[in-house]
Amino acid sequence: MHVEDTPLAGLKVLTPKVFGDDRGFFMETFNRETAAKAGIPTEFVQDNHSYSQYGVLRGLHYQYPTWQGKLVRVVEGGIFDVAVDIRRDSPTYGQWFGVHLSGENKRQIYAPEGFAHGFCVTGDDAHVLYKCTALYTPDEDAGVLWNDPDIGIQWPVAEPILSDKDRNALRLTDIRL
């Protein structure tokens, strides 16, 4: 597994070693020792599976005060995955990083605690799997507006399909942490 740092402290992109032949392929999607050496948590307490069609945008979600770190990958289809640093004391507060994840490229992203996370489906559909460092707590569920002009994310879909929750999320300057 190759782990790359991003310009946002703690945010990592992971690319597995894929061993393929005419029968298919094999890859390791998580290794505790590799994760620990890269500064990624080694204990995840919840796994989630999301299915969405083309143009669906989910996010930008976070949970507070029980933050969740997320290790995200796509098993089928493709997404543009985004993490926004919402740690008020961070030198990269309000900055975003995006990466294309797909069943084909098999890359992953680790969004640590203190980041809002979201993605937009760029293929016909996408199956997204993610591991979380904390259990989902509905009363702590929150979001940042997907198109907040102060953040300026360059989403690949002009008119995404949104939930009411995501359409009505707060701008970064209005969230209280």
Cα separation, 111 vs 124, whole angstroms: 25
Say which of 61, 62, 110, 117 is annotated catalytic.
61
pLDDT reported for residue 100? 98
**Tokens standing for 88?**
């008020």
Q: Which domain holds residue 116?
A: 2-174
| CATH number where 14 lies | 2.60.120.10
Query: What DSSP state is assigned to residue 103?
Result: T
pLDDT reported for residue 109? 98
Residues of the chain with pLDDT under 50: none
130 is catalytic: yes
2 is catalytic: no
Report how far apart, in Å, the C-alpha atoms of 131 and of each of 23, 112, 127 are: 28, 11, 14
- Residue bearing tokens 């976070």: 62
Say which of 62, 110, 117, 130 is annotated catalytic.
130
**Tokens standing for 11?**
């945010």
CB 14 within 8 A of CB 2: yes
Q: Rounded mean pLDDT of the chain?
A: 97
* Cβ partners under 8 Å of residue 29, min gap 6: 16, 73, 108
Question: Structural domain tally of the chain?
Answer: 1
pTM of the model: 0.95
| Burial group, residue 54, by CB count within 10 angstroms (0-12, 13-18, 19+) | middle
pLDDT reported for residue 146? 98
Query: Among residues 52, 49, 82, which one has the least CA distance to residue 152?
Result: 82
